[in-house]
Amino acid sequence: MNCVSENNLRAYHDAELSPVQGAEIEAHLARCAECAKRLGEIAATAARVEKQLVSLGAASAETKIDAQAALSRFKSQQGAPVETMPSKSDFVTHETNVPAKRWRPLWIGAVAATILLCSLAFPFGRGLAQRLLGTLRVEKVQPVRLDFSALDGNRPLQEMLRQMISDKVVVTADEKPQPASTAADASQLAGFSAHMLGVRTDTPKFIVGGQHAFHMTIDRTRLQDIFDQAGRADLLLPATLDGANVSVNVPRSIMVEYGDCPESHPAGAAQTGPAQAHSGAWANCLALQEVPSPLVNMPSDLNLQQLAEIGFQLAGMSATQARSLGQVIDWKSTLVLPIPRFASSYSQVTVNGVQGTLIEGSGRRGPDYVLVWVKNGIIYGLVGHGDSSNAVALANSLN
Amino acid sequence: MNEGSRVGEFETLFVKHYPRIIGILWRIVGDHGRAEDLASEVFLKLYRRPLAQEPEANVGGWLYRTATNLGIDALRAMARRSRFEQAAGQNAGQHKPAENGFERVARFERAHRVRTVLAELKPAQAQLLLQRASGDSYKELSVALEIEPGSVGTLLVRAEAAFEQRYRELFGSVEDV
């Protein structure tokens, strides 16, 4: 017998040969020092590499895997029975390329995330009446990549949320937006001074957004049901959450619109259809939104970080990633700004001496952007179309 | 095949292969949540793939190949991300109560090095090593990775040599860890 091939030596080492082949090689190895040496080398290398790979561990040894539960979660994450699961392209078409509408979820998302994070994080006892309330006030913005896409199209989940809001949330203020003819009028209506972009000489339109306020009592069981429906039964809300009272007050805001903008851009642009998004429209449109920090009252001994971590996990982060991020955010003063899925990039910039976040997107009509920053208790959002390189300069011209 | 039986077949395949797919992905990315995300992606790809007239062994092989491909892609992406995210990925959910802090750190460090090396190998070699480490036989490897059964041994030897070489280049001796 000639010397054994490397392939067969390795297969012999792994007991992957037939008994006859194995016996032949064994006999050869007994009289061939060279092959025996080569087998020793192959075995030693295999053992060293195996030792390294073993360090990656075995999931089954540490994690109980329930395939049926995973299948249920998989189906619910797709938001429909697998028979009618949408394709990724279906998801994309939901994100209309009308810039105003596309950015709208940013604000909704930011507020929703704030409410979610604030309203979920109450590891306190039931004696709420004796507790002092703590107040959150936004001083800065923290951009975070969150992905709630797994919840998109989950109709039972949406219905549960809608029902819970209907049952539990008591709205105490829900004002409609109203136009103002001048900056002075807008300031008087809103209760704070409107700022404008110094570099724009055209006359802007002013819209004063209404005040919105509500309070709610947390029903931990219903919230947990919602988490279960979202496929995250593994995320357990603290039992002490039950019965906690939260109140949220979003003050009046001012929208300053420059140029040719879509109707009620961006606040009312949800009604704007893609058909109106013809090329060239709104090229000189700039919208500056100004809103004083929403106030969120809640028991002062809450553990916001703990609940924020749960919220992050709901948005697709691993427990460890959520913990790592939760630890670096000052939850008493930071607005978590979810970065939309369609955003192509985001970066930290300096605006008027404070840190801001520039988020860029790309739609059918070309690039658009939103720049968000907080200064002196006011949250600013500048939405523009086209090149974002002058966004900071525009924002710095605020007067 | 009608839609009902197609869905039934998909669910059967899901339940049968999911634990193994999670195991492979967890080993690659070291984060259970991330492994679940990737597993969902694998099965979404499977659902969109015509299953008819395909032997089940081939479907299993396709699943494992797709999972390791996605896992290695994710590993490479993690390597490119910020240090913060890398750290989060490394430390994912692997705490063993019996370990002391030093042991845990050492294990994380070793796993991190292994993942770093795997991310830099040729994907086919990384796949082969990972699936062999998962306990696949030569026959299973040849089906899953679409390689000749008679060349699995040689490919394993080469993959291991490549692993050791890259490990030494990056971290010194393999035994040092």
**pLDDT on residue B35:** 85
Residue B77 near chain A (CB below 8 Å) = no
Q: Which residues does chain A have within 8 Å of residue B89's beta carbon, measured at their own beta carbons? A: 318, 320-321
- Asked whether the beta carbons of residue A45 and residue B84 sit closer than 8 angstroms, the reply is no
- Asked whether the beta carbons of residue A56 and residue B138 sit closer than 8 angstroms, the reply is no
- Asked whether the beta carbons of residue A318 and residue B88 sit closer than 8 angstroms, the reply is yes
Higher pLDDT, B47 or A341: B47
Helix (H/G/I), strand (E/B), else coil: A22: helix
pLDDT digits (tens, 9 = 90+) for A199-233: 988 999 999 988 888 888 888 888 888 777 777 77
> What mean pLDDT is predicted for residues A306-321?
76
Q: Which residues does chain B have within 8 Å of residue A45's beta carbon, measured at their own beta carbons? A: 157, 160-161, 164
Torsion sign (Cα): B82, B84, B89, B90:
positive
Phi, psi of A125 (to 5 degrees): -80, -170
> What are the Cα distances from residue B141, in Å, to A5, A54, B46, B65?
19, 18, 19, 10
Residue B106 near chain A (CB below 8 Å) = no
How many beta carbons lie within 10 A of that of residue B82, not counting itself? 9
Nearest CA in chain B to A43: B157
Are the C-beta atoms of residues B95 and B104 closer than 8 Å to each other? yes
- Asked whether the beta carbons of residue A49 and residue B47 sit closer than 8 angstroms, the reply is no
**pLDDT on residue B92:** 43
- What is the pTM (predicted TM-score) of this model? 0.45
Residue B40 near chain A (CB below 8 Å) = yes
- Asked whether the beta carbons of residue B175 and residue A48 sit closer than 8 angstroms, the reply is yes
**pLDDT on residue A153:** 61
Are the C-beta atoms of residues A50 and B130 closer than 8 Å to each other? no
Torsion sign (Cα): A278, A279, A281, A285:
positive
Are the C-beta atoms of residues A311 and A326 closer than 8 Å to each other? no
Lowest mean pLDDT among A73-87, A173-187, A370-384, B38-52: A73-87
Q: How confident is the model at residue A139 (pLDDT cuts 50, 70, 90)?
A: low
**Complex ipTM, two decimals?**
0.75
**pLDDT on residue A243:** 78
> What mean pLDDT is predicted for residues B81-86?
42
Number of A/B CB contacts below 8 angstroms equals 159
Compute the nearest-CA separation of B162 from chain A (Å). Answer: 10
The whole-angstrom separation of Cα A42 and Cα B160 is 9
pLDDT digits (tens, 9 = 90+) for B114-163: 888 988 888 889 989 988 887 788 888 888 888 888 899 999 999 999 99
